[in-house]
Every structure is written in structure tokens, then in C-alpha cells.
Chains A and B, each alone.
Chain A
Amino acid sequence: MNIWESFRVSLRALLANKMRSILTMLGIIIGVGSVIAMVGIASGATANIMEQVQSLGSNMLIVMPGATTTGGARGAAGSMNSLTMTDLEKLEAAAQTPNSPLKAIAPVSSLSVQIVNAAGNTQTTMTGTTPAYADIRNITVEIGRFITQEDIDAGSRVAVIGPSVVENLTGNAQTNLLGQTIKLNNVPFMVIGITESKGSSGMTNNDDIVIVPLSTAQIRMIGNKYLRSIFVEADAADHMTEAQEEITSILLKAHKIGVGGTADFSVTNQADVLSTIQTITRTMTMMLGGIAGISLLVGGIGIMNIMLVSVTERTREIGIRKAIGAKRRDILLQFLAEAVVLCIIGGGIGILLGAGGSALLGKALDVATKVSAFAVLIAVAFSAFIGIVFGVFPAKKAADLDPIEALRYE
């Protein structure tokens, strides 16, 4: 008897006992389904996070001041007033030199402000910066314009605001506030632009922003010329490290910090952040997949359990088959094929349920899900593998039955 015939015989046996077959498959269905759903959700969430991190600006480095130390107590990173306009000018000068890995520089002076207009009021962080900021942070102005060098030179009281600010002020993100006056900490500003919605990434709402010219922020609002941070864009993804080194060396020299001294600033690499997130999400995917994998294992044990019962129940059938000429191999193949067929059909149903489940769960949790061909392949291969592993023992038991004993079995 060839393998094809074995599969036909086992399929017939499974059809003859539909209820038991379905119950046996349930374990595999749930196992495979949860692997597909879990991995689908995890990889969808990963893709989601990555996309948002990328949208904040690619090839980006962030220079932050160091932490203050007051009486031995170290303050938060960035609390020091160590980044100056001179630092900014030096970095901008470096960016102008040919072959520099630095492409664009945008300073940030920020302040928490209360925004008031005729319709309402809200609170957010005001960012004072230069035109380069829009490119580096991937900000697009939907209506109106971004701040210009003229605004900075003149110290104009103009502001570009995000749709969340519009919504918080007026209750409707679609309200056109262009040309109207808003008050930031009681200082009147004219709205010159509203940015395109970018959504939120993690805890940060990228639409809850107020951008004003750097000079206006420093002179009128904050009252000093220190910078909160400097955003630097590298000219290529593989120049990130070089860019980081160049910034560090320029600033160390500017701050007169020698070898062995402690830098009073830090340079964060966007690529590092990305790879950290990737590591975290990969771990999350593996963990979810692992948990689901355990349920697949339990499903496999369920198959073995039922197959063992089935062998006992069908002892007489095995005896008959052996008496009329079935070899050990024929019986082994028949029962093995039964287990594999159960697992493959169960796996197939599991894939469909898993894909549907992850899509549904994704909708409920509002995350994009992605059922990868890889996860499907792994699930199918694993369920066939489980069928063989957990089918071998019952099949061997059946094949080794003595025909005389088996025929006498009631």
C-alpha cells in the first residue's frame, strides 16, 4: 500500500467519526489560530510603531543639554543650560562645509504655554525654531505657511499650530484659524499656518504643537538664549555614527571639555532608538508567539491522547487488517497519516481563524495587523511536525499489536 492510499484510508476513518475528529482538531485549530493572530498583531504593531518613529524624521540626531547637579543631586537630563546659540552657529557652519555628514540643523527653545483665543483655551509646549525644523521633523503645513528666516530676523509674533491645538481651542479640528490671533501666555500671535495631521506615536501627540520663530520665543517668551535641544539631520542613514562623532567633537571643543572630561550634553541617534524599539518589539513578538506555541504543543498532546484511545478502540480493526495482510508499515502509515491529516486540516482552519481573529482584534484595539506568510508557513510546518511527533507513538502502538490478540479483543 502506498502513502497516497494510506492517506485515503485515514481520511475515510476520520470522516467515519466526525465528532471525535473535530474535537481532536480543536486543539490544533486554537494553537495555530493563536500563533497566527498573536504574531500578526505583534508584527502589525511593530510596523505601526516603526512607521511613526520614521515619520518623526529620518536620519535624525538629537543634541540635548546635560543634567544639572545641585548639591550632589543630579537633575533630569536636559535640565542644564549648556547649549548656546554659539553651539548652534558652529554646527550650522560645519553643515556648510563640503563632505560633512551633517545636512540640516534645527534648534529648539521651548516653553510650556497657555493658549487662549476667543473660543477657548488650552495648554501645550511652544517650540521656538528655524525653517529647517519642518524638513527635519517631517512637518507639512496643510494651510498657510511655515515660519521663515524673515520671521526670525524680524522677531515676528507668528505661530504655526497643529490640528490638535485647533481642536482643543475650538472643538473642531477643521476650524480655519488662519490669520486669527491667539494668545500664548498673554502674548498675542498671528496664526500663519496649520500643520497636516500626523497622529500620535506612543505617548506623544505629534499634532499638539505650536511653532514660533526662535528669536521671538527666546526674547519675548523665555527670556534667555539657551537651547532646549538641537535637531540634526545626517545626509545618509549610514552616516549616522560619523555625524554623531562630528557633533560630539565640535561641541566638546566649543565647551572646552578635554579628554577624560564629562560632556555637558548628549547626542541621541534616531537609529539607536529605532533599533531599541525593534529589539523590544521582536522580544514581544517572540513572547506572544511562544505562548501561542505552547497552546499548539498542548493541542499536539491532545491529538496523541485521542489517537491512543482510538488505537485501543480500533484494536479489532487493526487485527482484521493485519490478518488479511497489512504489514507493520501499512498500519504505522495509516495511523500516522491520520494524525498528520488531523493536524493539517486543523492547521488550515486555524490559519483562517487566526487571520480573521487578528484582523478583528486589530480593529477592536485599533492597531494595524499583518499576517505574514512566514508565520503561516511556520504554523503549517509546526502543525505537520506535531502531527508526526505525536502520531508516532500511537501509530507504533497500533502497528505492534499482535494479530491474534487484536482479533480476540472485544
Chain B
Amino acid sequence: MIKLDGIKKVYKTGDIEVLALSGIQLHVAEGEFVSIMGPSGSGKSTMMNILGCLDKPTGGTYFLDGIDTSKASNNELANIRNRKIGFVFQGFNLLKRTSALENVELPMLYAGVAAKERRKRALAALESVGLADRVHHKPNELSGGQQQRVAIARALVGQPAMILADEPTGNLDSRSSEEVMAIFQRLHAQGNTIVVVTHEPEIAEHTWRIVRFKDGHIAQDELVAEPRMARAHVPDEEGA
């Protein structure tokens, strides 16, 4: 599913070159639930940008779902982000003054899905994260946890190859964090490939595999012996 081979990223500021990633080797199989950890400056943000096809590596190859992304143009990368990746951000990144439903419809708008089909799928996705009764609410009318669930609905609505979450619980209280992790665990159980970038050990413990970054390389890559199960507060668990 995800295959990184010798991924390098060099940032140039004037004459100074900073090596953010030095030859990363990483394989993530389909259906895995992985967390990427590391202190700030370890290269995990750069890693997240490259995994999310928001940035291009300086060297190495990155195959996502069989596509070589390192040779793709900006437009092709936009297409890959649209069809292969579902993003969940720390700051939710929902469009303001836009209803939950329309936010979830957005990726399908760019994928060229017909309006009727968009609505149907967006409603289903919102229902699966327990927000069936909040579809016409705007982000400022929703709690942080609810906003993040809208973002998750938006990420999974296009049935992407990978859900990529960047500090998904960073702005949430512990109860909402539990809810969000419960949804991820359920999505994992349903066979989705999920990568979570986080610096919180408790969050990483909810995943099946932890990849630790340090100074631009992978310091440790281990399976979690006994993942911590999130207690679900999501009311309509059975709706999924």
C-alpha cells in the first residue's frame, strides 16, 4: 500500500542546507493502523507532508497504492490527494460558513461526482461518524469533537487508500479524543489503512504499530503488543 524507498528531503535556506529526512525506508501494508511519533524537529511533519503528497521528496521513491508519486506533477498530486488520501488535521480545517454536509461533499466536488450521488455519500459518511442529526450545522455551531468527526467523514467519504491524520486529537479534550480514536479503531477494523502523526504516547498506544522518528531518520519501528481500546461514546455505533 505505502512503500517509501530512500526518501530524502533537503530544505534550502540561502546557502544553508537542512536535511529533514535522510533516506527513509518504510512499508505500510493495506489495513494497517500506524502512528508516527517523534519530538518536534524530528522530521515527522516533513514525513506527513510527503506521505500526504503535499510536498515532493528531494530524493527516493514513494509508491502509494501502486502509483509512483515522486514523479507526479502538481496536478497529478492534487488528483492523488483527492482520490487516494483522506486528511484529518489538528485544526479540523473545515470551511467556515459552510454546512457539515457541504464540507463532506467537497472532495467529491473536485472528483467530479454528480450532485445527487455526492449528497447521498456525504450523508452516509456523516451518519457513520454519528452526526446524522448535525448535517446542516456549520462548523462554528459544532463542538471540537463534532468538528473533527465531520473532518473524518470528509476524509473517508472518497474511500481513500489511506487516511492520514495529523495530530487529530491535539485540539480536543480527553473525552473527544477517545471518541475520535474509537472511530479510527472502528475504521481500522473495517479494513482502512490509517496513519496518525502524533507526539502523544497515549494516542499512539491506540494504534497497532508505532514508528518513531529522530533527527530525520526512523529510530524505532515496533508493533504495539496490546493496543489500548478506546471507549466509544459515539451514540450510533451500530449505524456504522
Tell me which of A212-220, A228-236, A314-322 binds B.
A314-322
CB <8 Å contact, A326 and B95: no
Residue A254 lies at the interface, judged by CB distance under 8 Å to chain B: no
- What 0/1 readout, one digit per residue, does chain A (284-320) give for beta carbons within 8 Å of chain B? 0000000000000000000000000000000011011
Number of interface residues of A (CB under 8 A): 23
The A interface, classified by DSSP as helix, strand, loop or mixed, is helix
Residue of A1, A324, A328 near B81 (CB, 8 A) is: A324
* Chain A residues whose CB sits within 8 angstroms of the CB of B87 once the complex forms: 323-324
The residue in chain A whose Cβ has the minimal distance to the Cβ of B89 is A407
Residue A325 lies at the interface, judged by CB distance under 8 Å to chain B: yes
How far, in whole Å, are A1 and B49 apart by their CA atoms in the complex?
25
Residue B206 lies at the interface, judged by CB distance under 8 Å to chain A: no
Number of A-B residue pairs, CB cutoff 8 Å, is 59
Number of interface residues of B (CB under 8 A): 26
How far, in whole Å, are A407 and B109 apart by their CA atoms in the complex?
20
Interface residues of A in 78-120 (CB under 8 A from B): none
How far, in whole Å, are A2 and B110 apart by their CA atoms in the complex?
9
CB <8 Å contact, B49 and A326: no
The residue in chain B whose Cβ has the minimal distance to the Cβ of A325 is B82
CB <8 Å contact, B93 and A1: no
Residue of A326, A328, A403 near B54 (CB, 8 A) is: A403
Residue A16 lies at the interface, judged by CB distance under 8 Å to chain B: yes
CB distance from A349 to the nearest CB of B (A): 24
CB <8 Å contact, A324 and B89: no
CB <8 Å contact, A316 and B78: no
- Of the candidates A9, A12, A324, A407, the one having the most CB atoms from chain B within 10 angstroms of its own CB is A324
Tell me whether A1 and B109 are in contact in the complex, defined as CB-CB below 8 angstroms, given that A323-B93, A404-B49 are known contacts: yes
CB <8 Å contact, B95 and A324: no
Q: 18 A-B contacts, Cβ less than 8 Å apart?
A: A1-B110, A1-B112, A317-B96, A319-B93, A320-B94, A321-B106, A321-B110, A324-B154, A325-B81, A325-B82, A325-B107, A325-B110, A325-B111, A327-B75, A327-B110, A329-B75, A330-B110, A404-B55
Q: Which residues of A contact B (CB under 8 A)?
A: 1-2, 5, 9, 12, 16, 316-317, 319-330, 403-404, 407
